[in-house]
Amino acid sequence: MPGDLNIPDIPVTQLLDDAAERYPRRPALIFFGREICYRDLREAVDRFADGLHRLGVQPGDRVALILPNCPQQVIAFFGVLRRGAIVVQHNPLYTEEEMLHQLADCGARVAVVLDRSCATVKAVQSKLPLEHLVVTSLIDYLPTSRKIALRLPLVQMQRRRAAITADVPPDPRVVPFKELQRVPRRRVTQLPLEPSRHLAAIQYTGGTEGRPKGAMLTHRNLIANACQQHAWDVGGRPGADVTLAVLPLFHSFGLMSCLVAPMMTGGAVVLLPRYDGDRVLTAIRKYRPTIFPGVPTLYEKVLDSPRFQPSDLRSLRVYISGAMGLGQGTIDRLGRLGARGLINCYGLTEASPAVAGNPLDGRARNLTVGLPLPMTDVVIVDPEQPTKVLPPGEPGELVVRGPQVFVGYWNAPLATAQALSKGWLRTGDIAVMDEQGFITILERLRDMIKVSGFTVAPSEVEKVLRRHPAVHDCAVVSVPDPRRGERIIAHVVEHPAYPFSADELRRHCKRYLSHYKVPDEFRPRTDLPRSLVGKVIRQRLRDEVLDSSAQAT
């Protein structure tokens, strides 16, 4: 594995242009059976970029994409970059409040919206600088056979909409996606930019620990991370790999592993708008993907499907697992079924996102997150004295430096100063590195709990709780306490075969934990709130406890 890489000084759109030259007829996107080759994808991107120009989009403008995985998302992503503008992606399932915050923060002039999310955006449009909504539907890019199957319910839906909107004048600010592409076929020249300075994307952090912040990623950041992933995949097959894109492209993990990196190697991307067990297995059997980026819960869902057969895994040569810890149970289960190429990796939005990964040469140690990627420096420091580097085996905060590290947070200079120092990124993750350089993530720094001056790691408490047969899943958080600083709350999803008993769980914890680590309260739940990539949203759990306490008083 080379320590240094040759990172080309190019815009992200050059990846698509190069692939279209090398593999013009190679499928770039596959969507419910419809294949879009690289040549046609580039033409669609050029048409869309020209349409944005007619809407007045200028270099540096922010364009919001509020779309699930679909061809329009990819076309819009590259089309915005072709104009020298900045892509800002949002979850189409956001509430009005969530949508308002992010759209107001980034100041987008144009939003490309799925029809199902249009009402949410229009409800807040009057409070925003949004000038145009470009609206599209998943149906637009379905193959003809699928459209025919949907024709009757579609006609009924259109009639209902027509009846509702009969007396409402058309909104000139709303433009159909197809309308933007109705221009003569021609090549659109990439507007000049400096890859190391010009932003490609403002990618909002997950918001699992508070209000999301917009991480500013340059063209060079994304190109560098794609080069790093390409180098890491020593068995990569340019022009032949097929990536299964179940992860949402609006998330940094999905954006890089399911779009930017595959485009660098001319790979095909199978787009699925959301997780559906039957559709995932159908796609695996029909298109024989070779790369499956995902999270452990996603892999477990596939294996749990009644339709799953071990032969479904034969085509897959790489499983890129990230966003949350990979447990021994999932590792063993995939191993027993003959899965190969499973690697646990680590990244964060602020690093485009990949930082470290396990080797793909059979030496993976998947209870760790592996080794730093090429051109990536990682050290463990004292959280209280960030300039003090800790020796191997001693836990501390993981800090990162590399060409994939972002340039700061949008509209947040204080948060930027707290996160970045002389090119080093403070990740906020507590980790330990061994003598060979393998990294193990222990905790989020924010999640560490202080009880009467003692430090408690939630993961340690959760590990003990999961040993009890009544605990199917759990998450430990803290809330302020006037006497001890913080108190510990355990949210427990009980196993259906065992009754929930707070007293029994407390006795269990006392058997294995120091007294100050034992939760003060055990709250039963049917499930845990998780983000779309599987992370527990601890902030929501904290807010629930605080809200219930406020109501009680």
414 falls within a domain: no
CB 340 within 8 A of CB 363: no
Final residue of a structural domain among 314, 336, 358: 336
Q: State pLDDT tens for residues 231-285.
A: 999 999 999 999 999 999 999 999 999 999 999 999 999 999 988 888 999 999 9
Tokens (6 digits) for 80: 């915005």
Give the residue-averaged pLDDT of 469-479.
Answer: 93
DSSP 302-346: HHHSTT--GGGGTT--EEEE-SSPPPHHHHHHHHHTT---EEEEE
State whether 29 and 167 are in the same domain.
yes
Over its C-alpha atoms, the chain yields an Rg (Å, rounded) of: 24
Structural domains in the chain (count): 2
My answer on whether 61 and 191 are in the same domain is: yes
Regarding whether 461 and 329 lie in a shared domain, the answer is no
Cis omega before residue 176 (within 30°)?
no
**What are the respective helix, strand and coil percentages of the chain, to the nearest 5?**
35, 25, 40
Instruction: Decide if 474 is inside a domain.
Output: yes
Query: Is 344 within the bounds of a domain?
Result: no
Query: How does 208-238 read in b/e, with b if 16+ C-beta sit within 10 Å?
Result: bbeebbbbbbbbbbbbbbbbbbbbbbeebee
Which residue, chain included where needed, has tokens 């807010």? 543
Evaluate whether residue 440 is within a structural domain. Answer: no
Q: Scanning the structure block, which residue is given the tokens 């995902």?
A: 294
412 inside domain = no
Interacting residues of 543 by C-beta distance below 8 A, sequence separation 6+ = none
Q: Domain range spanning residue 231?
A: 13-336
Mind listing the pLDDT tens digit for each residue in 353-375?
999 999 999 899 999 999 999 99
Where do runs of H (alpha helix) occur along 236-308? 252-255, 261-264, 277-287, 296-304
Q: Where a domain ends, among 291, 309, 336?
A: 336
Q: What was the pLDDT predicted at 164?
A: 36
Q: Are 322 and 345 in contact (CB under 8 A)?
A: yes
92: domain CATH number is 3.40.50.12780
CA–CA distance, 272 with 170 (Å, rounded to integer) = 32
Is 365 a member of any domain?
no
Q: Cα separation of 450 and 439, whole Å?
A: 25
Quick: pLDDT tens for 147-167.
665 554 555 555 544 443 444
Q: What is the mean pLDDT of residues 413-424?
A: 94
Instruction: List CB contacts of 84: < 8 A, sequence separation 6 or more.
Output: 58, 59, 60, 190, 191, 192, 193, 198
In a domain, 353, yes or no: no
What's the pLDDT tens digit per position in 178-193?
998 887 667 788 888 9
Q: Residue 190 gets which letter from DSSP?
A: P
332 and 455 assigned to the same domain: no
HSE-CB of 401 using CA atoms within 13 angstroms: 8
> Could you tell me if 123 and 244 lie in one domain?
yes
Question: What pTM, to 2 d.p., does this model score?
Answer: 0.86
Tokens for 215? 């991480």
The whole-angstrom separation of Cα 348 and Cα 204 is 11
Rounded to whole angstroms, the Cα distance separating 118 from 251 reads: 20
Identify the pLDDT of residue 436.
Answer: 96
pLDDT of the residue at 496? 86
Integer Cα distance of 101 and 124 in angstroms: 10
Spatial CB neighbours of 164, under 8 Å, sequence gap ≥ 6: none
In a domain, 199, yes or no: yes
Which of 273, 290, 284, 314 shows the shortest CA–CA distance to 239? Answer: 290
Which of 317, 336, 355 is at the close of a domain? Answer: 336
Give the pLDDT confidence score for residue 163 in this predicted structure: 44
Q: What is the CATH number of the domain that holds 479?
A: 3.30.300.30
Partners of residue 458 on adjacent β-strands? none
